[in-house]
A and B are shown apart, each in its own frame.
Chain A
Amino acid sequence: MAHNAQAVRATPAVDRKALRLPFGLLLAAVFAAGSASLVYEVVWVRQLGMSLGSTAIASSVMLSAFLGGLAVGSWLSGRKADESPSPLKSLVRIEIAAAVIGAVSVPVLAAAGRAYVLVAVTTSAGSETSLVLRALFSLVAMFIPAALFGMTFPVATAAAARLVDVDKAGGGISAASSFGSAAGAAAAGLFLEPLLGLTESAYAGASLNILAALLALAALTATSRLSRG
C-alpha cells in the first residue's frame, strides 16, 4: 500500500484517464479542507475577540497568528510530504486531527480567553503589556491548530504530483483550496454563524474535515485498486 501511488505511475498499463477518479477525489478533499479552514478562521477570530477585544491591533494579532500558523505548517510539511511513502495517507491523518481540534476549539478558545483575562487582571497589565499578552494568547490558542491546517496544502500537492502532471497538480490543488475557502467564508458568514452559533459552526467545520478525510481515503483506495489491477 505504501508505494501504491508510485507503482501506479510506474506502470505503463495504468490508463492515465483512470487516475482522474483519485485526482478528482483528492481535489474534493482539498475543497472540503479549505472550506473548514475558513470556517475556523472566522469562528476563532470572533470567539477569541470576545476576551481579547475587537480593536484593530487585537484583530490583526489574532489573524496574523492564524496565518503565521498556516505558513509554518506549510513550510515544515512540504519536504516531508515529498518523502512520504503515501501523502494521501498523511492527508487522511491530518484531516482527522484537524477535525478533533476543530470540534473542541470553541470551548478551548473560550478558556484561553478567560485565562488571558485572569492574567491581565492579576498583573494589572498596562496597554503595552496587555498587547504582548494578547499576542501571546493568540499564538498559543491559534498557532498550533493553524499549523496543522497549513500542512494540508503541500501534502495534497505532493499526493497530486503522483497522480497528474506538475501543472495540473499545483494549479488544481490551488484552485480547489481557493474555491473551498470561498465556500467556507460564505457558509460561515451567511449560514453557519447566524443559524448555528459559534460552537456548532466549529462542529460543522469538523464535519468538513471528516468529509475531507473520507474523500482522501477514497482516493487512496482508488489508487490501490489501480495498482493491483
Chain B
Amino acid sequence: MAETTHPRPRTHSRGHIIALLGAYALSGAAALTYEVSWMRELSSMFGSTAYASGILLSAFMTGLGLGAVLGTWLAGRSAHPLRDAARAELAVAAFSVITLLALRLLPTTYFDLIQGTGMSGASFLAVQFAVAFVVMVLPTTAMGATYPLVIEAVGRRRELGGWSGRLYSSNTAGAITGSLLAGFVLIPLVGLKGALISAAALSSVAALMFAALAIRMSGAPSILRSAEYLVLPIALLALLAIPTSTGAPLGIGQVYFYESSDQYEHLADSSKVLYEEEGVYSRVTVYEDPWGIRTLANGALDEGNSGDYDKTTTTMLALAPTASASNTRTALVVGLGTGYTSLAYHRLGFEHVTTVEINPEVPPAATYFIGELPQDDSWRVIVDDARAHLLTSTETYDAITSEPSWPWSSGVAALFTEEFMSAAKARLNPGGVYCQWLPNYLLEPEDVDMMYKTMRKVYPRVDVWAINFPEDAESELLLIGHVDGSGPSVQQTAERILELLPPFSAENPVVTEDTLSAYSRLGELEEAVADPSVPLNTDDHSTLEYRVFRNLVDNVISQPKER
C-alpha cells in the first residue's frame, strides 16, 4: 500500500470493461442484499417508523461516505487500486460476520438500554442512530471505499465523467437486483442468515473479479496473498456458525409489555412456537406461553393474542359497528391479525365478511386463533394493501372496521388519515358505518381531538365508544362514522349493544355490560371540531404517526416499569 503510483495502462479492452462493470454491479447487488437484511432486523428492534427508516438509511449512507474518504486516501497511494478494491470487497464479506453477530447479541442490550432511562425523544433517536451506525460502520465503510479505488484504476481525467456514469449506473442496476433478490427470494426462502451468506458470496465473487482484472488491466504482479484468500471461507463458515434466531424477535413491540429483556426472554424460552414463517415483510410467529395464551408476532410487534383482554377489544370492533349500522349483511375488516374481529362479524350474522390483510403470512397464522377459515362465500380474505383495495374496488359494505397495526408504523399510518376515511366512506352502503380503532392508552387528549375532528370532516355523524377494562377505563376508543344521518340513535345503539353481548360475555369474563360506554370527553371533542388550532390527520401531514411514537417514548419506554 505504501508503494508509489507508477504508470498504469489506461486503454482497456471491451471485455475488460464489461467484466469491470459486472464486478461493480455484483458489488452493488451484494450491498443492497446486506442493506435489506440488516435493516429488516434493525427495524424490528427500532420499530418500522419513519424516524427509524431515516436513521437506518442515514447510518448506512454515513458509512459509505466514510468509506469514500478512506478509498480516496488509499487510491492516491495505491500502486494497484483494483487489487485494493478486491481487498475492500473481501473486507465487506468479513465484516458482515461481525454485523450478524451484533444483530444477534444486540436486541437484549438495546432493550435494557432504552428501558426506563427517562430519556427524551431526541436522545432516544440519537441512541438508535448510534446503535445502527456502530452495527453497520465496518462493512459499509469497506463498501464505500470500492468506488474511489475502481475509478482511480480506470479513469483518465478527460473521461472521468463517462467512467463515473458507467460505474454508478452498473452499481445501481446491481443494487436494484440485490434489493429485489433479498426481499422477495433470499429472505423468504433461506432466511436472514442465508441472505447474508449469499451477499458474502457475491462480495467474494466481485473481489475475485477485481483481483483478476488488476492483473489484466493494470499489470499487478500477483493477485492476492494466500492469507487473503482465506478470508472468504472463514467468513462463510463464521456466518454459518452463528446460530439462527427463532421465535418472535425482541424489539420495540415488547417494550410496552415487559419490564426487562430477561423477563421477555424467560417467557420466550418457556413458550412454544406454533407457527413461524419468514415472509417478504417480516417473520410472522405464533407462540404459546406456559398459561396457554397464544400471541401473534409480526416482526417484533405483538399484533394480538388469545387473552381475554385482547379478545374483548377485537370483538368490540365488530360488535359496536354492528349495533350502529342500519343493515348487517356485508362487512369489511382492515387487517386480519388474530382474526377475532372477522370471526365476530361472522358470528353476529353478517352474510359476507371480507378481510383485507397486507401480509400473506398472517392468514395461516390466524388459524391458530380462530381455527380453519370457512371455505364458503360468506368469508373472504384478500391479501392486498387495504387502501389500494378500497380505492380500486367497486364493492360496498354495511360496516367497515379498520384495525390495522400500530399507527406509528409508516406503512400503517396511511390507514388513519382523512383520505383513507374518505376512501372507506365511498365504499359504504346507505346507513353504513365506518369503525376506526384508536389505542387511547398511547394517546394524549389532543390526539383524540385531532382524530375526532378528522373523522367529523368526512362523516356527518361520529359516535365515540370507549372500551373499559376492570382496572383501565377508556383504554381504547372506537370512533364510529355514519355515512349519512340514518341509523340508530346513540341510545338505541347502546341498547342493541346490550342485546348482542350475551354470547360473547358467556365465554369471556372481561366482556360485561360496562365494557362499552360513551366516551367521557364528547363535549370537548365537539369543541375541537370548531377549533382551528386542532390539526387534521391527513396524507400530507400524518401527525398521528409521529405523536403516537413520541408518546410511546415519553410515556412508556422511558418510564420506569411498575406493572
Contacts and interface: CB of A to CB of B under 8 A. Distances in A.
Interface of A: 38, 42, 46-47, 49-58, 60, 63-64, 67-68, 70-72, 74-82, 84, 87, 106, 117, 120-121, 124-125, 127, 130, 150, 153-155, 157-158, 160-162, 165-175, 178-179, 181-183, 185-190, 193-194, 197-199
Contacts of B240: none
7 contacts: A78-B164, A81-B161, A171-B71, A171-B147, A174-B71, A190-B55, A193-B50
Contact of A155 (B71, B161, B166, B542): B161
Given A46-B410, A71-B169, 20 more contacts: A52-B388, A57-B280, A64-B180, A75-B166, A82-B159, A117-B392, A153-B168, A170-B148, A171-B147, A172-B72, A174-B71, A174-B72, A174-B144, A175-B68, A182-B64, A185-B58, A186-B55, A189-B58, A197-B538, A199-B540
A168 to B, nearest CB: 6
A121 B392 CA distance: 5
B184 interface: yes
A70 B175 CA distance: 11
A168 B76 contact: yes
B396 interface: no
A56 B176 contact: no
B358 interface: yes
A199 B57 CA distance: 21
Contact of A75 (B69, B73, B165, B419): B165
A121 B161 contact: no
Interface in B520-539: 538-539
B414 interface: yes
Nearest to A55: B385
Interface stretch (B12-20, B103-111, B150-158, B433-441): B150-158
- The interface size bin for chain B is 35 or more
B545 to A, nearest CB: 8
Contact of B61 (A153, A165, A185): A185
Decide if the interface of chain B is mainly helix, strand, loop or mixed.
helix
Interface string B349-389: 00000000010000000000000000000000000110111
B173 A175 contact: no
Contact of A71 (B58, B62, B168, B388): B168
Given A50-B387, A79-B162, A150 B50 contact: no
Interface of B: 50-55, 57-62, 64-65, 67-69, 71-73, 75-76, 125, 129, 144, 147-148, 151-152, 155-166, 168-170, 172-173, 175-176, 179-180, 183-184, 280-281, 358, 384-385, 387-389, 391-392, 394, 410-411, 414, 419, 538-542, 546
B152 A167 contact: yes
Given A67-B175, A68-B176, A185-B58, A170 B76 contact: no
